[in-house]
Amino acid sequence: MDTLSTADLVKLFLTIVFGATGTYLLLPHSLGKVKPKLAHFVGLVLVAVAVIAISGFWKVGKEVELVSRLFFYLFAFMAVGCAILTITSRDPVHSALWFAAVVLATSGLFLLSGAQFLAAGTVIVYAGAIIVTFLFVIMLAQKEGRALYDRMARAPFFATLSSFLLLLGLIVPLLGMRPLVLDQDGKPPQASLTGNAMVSMADRLDTTGRADLVKGTMPNHKIVLERVMGPRSTLPERTPGKAKPAHVASLGAVLFTDHLLTIELAGSLLFVALIGALAIATPKPPIRPTVGTPSTTTTA
């Protein structure tokens, strides 16, 4: 922990305190009292200060292009700020809208870290989820005004305290970890190092497997197993003079070789969830006998 300087630690602590105080001021009152406009204003200012202060811990190296750097900061600020607004809005419709902004920012960050398919997939999946949430809000919300339970929070002080203590506990080891991943020269290691090693391993496995298949020295099922289960999980690297391999094709290749069982499990999970949702949500005859038996109930 000696790697994290005392000044950094104090700055981080102040950031967390500012963020916690601002978020607490923005949350609804525990007894449903109306917070004055001044509390909202002070809360917003404190949260803005905390977000700007925590951006001081983000380090974007000079080797990153200016456009990437700008978009990283845009998406990061958007994610954090909209996340705070999601949990502090009194109106669930506003919460859903802010959450949509969080999802957009997250998919932008996915895009910046080379996960194009996931960026598109997240937007598609969560757009559907948020539209359904809107339908639910419109269908179930109270007619006039905001509901009482939207204006009351459950133990906001202790919830804020425990959450931001957890944030402190998460960020302090992260910041203290920074020099551990550096080389002895103080340079960060190349990210593709493990990738190249894996590529050569996969190539070796491929050739030996084919040779053994021709010669018939290995049992066939073993060759097939090794070729299917072999490590293929390397991100496509841009090599000079060659086109970059297709992103989705590589992802699909990994998904259907290394992680075949995962796909099967995910499919089964979706199927079970479909059946479960149907079993839960289908309307059943009334529980109270006094309401009267509808014509759908059978006496058998």
Partner 1 sequence: MPFSAEMLLNYLIIGAVLMVLGMLGFLSRRNMIVMFLSAEMMLQGTALTLVGFGRFHGNWTGQIFTIVILTVAACEASIALALILILFNRKSSLDVSLWQELREPGRSAIVDQASDAEPEPIIRGIETYPHLVPAGVEPPHPTESWTERRD
Region 62-91 residues binding partner 1, contact defined as CB under 8 A: 63-65, 68, 72, 76, 79-80, 83-84, 86-87, 89
DSSP state of 91: S
Pick out residues in 206-225 that bind partner 1 (CB under 8 A): none
* Alpha-carbon gap, residue 171 to 169, rounded angstroms: 6
Contact 55, 73 (CB under 8 A): yes
Cite the DSSP H helix spans in the chain.
6-26, 37-54, 66-88, 92-112, 116-140, 148-151, 156-176, 193-215, 220-229, 247-257, 260-281
Nearer to partner 1, 163 or 208 (CB): 163
Please report whether residue 56 would count as binding partner 1 according to CB under 8 A.
no
Cα torsion angle, 139, 119, 69, 62, sign: positive
* Interacting residue with partner 1 among 178, 204, 222, 244 (CB under 8 A): 178
Considering only the stretches 3-11, 103-111, 206-214, 220-228, report the one whose residues sit in contact with partner 1 under the rule CB under 8 A: 103-111
Pick out residues in 228-287 that bind partner 1 (CB under 8 A): 233-235, 237, 250-251, 254-255, 258-259, 262, 266, 269-270, 272-274, 276-277, 280-281, 283-284, 286-287
Please report whether residue 57 would count as binding partner 1 according to CB under 8 A.
yes
* Interacting residue with partner 1 among 18, 25, 160, 223 (CB under 8 A): 160
Contact 20, 161 (CB under 8 A): yes
Kindly write down the DSSP assignment for every residue of 161-179, as one continuous string: HHHHHHHHHHHHHHHHTGG
The SS3 assignment for 2 reads: coil
Please report whether residue 153 would count as binding partner 1 according to CB under 8 A.
yes
Contact 146, 87 (CB under 8 A): no
# binding residues, partner 1 (CB under 8 A): 115
Nearer to partner 1, 118 or 213 (CB): 118
* Alpha-carbon gap, residue 99 to 95, rounded angstroms: 6
* Interacting residue with partner 1 among 3, 41, 52, 146 (CB under 8 A): 146
Q: Is 181 exposed, middle or buried (0-12, 13-18, 19+ CB in 10 A)?
A: exposed
* Interacting residue with partner 1 among 1, 7, 61, 240 (CB under 8 A): 61
* Interacting residue with partner 1 among 4, 159, 201, 205 (CB under 8 A): 159
Pick out residues in 112-141 that bind partner 1 (CB under 8 A): 112-115, 117-118, 121-122, 125-126, 129, 132-133, 136-137, 140-141
* Alpha-carbon gap, residue 172 to 178, rounded angstroms: 10
Least separation in angstroms between CB 220 and partner 1: 28
Considering only the stretches 1-9, 204-212, 220-228, 291-299, report the one whose residues sit in contact with partner 1 under the rule CB under 8 A: 291-299
Q: What angle do CA 23, 154, 103 make, to 5 degrees?
A: 50
* Alpha-carbon gap, residue 94 to 156, rounded angstroms: 20
Please report whether residue 152 would count as binding partner 1 according to CB under 8 A.
yes
Pick out residues in 20-49 that bind partner 1 (CB under 8 A): 23, 27-28, 31-34
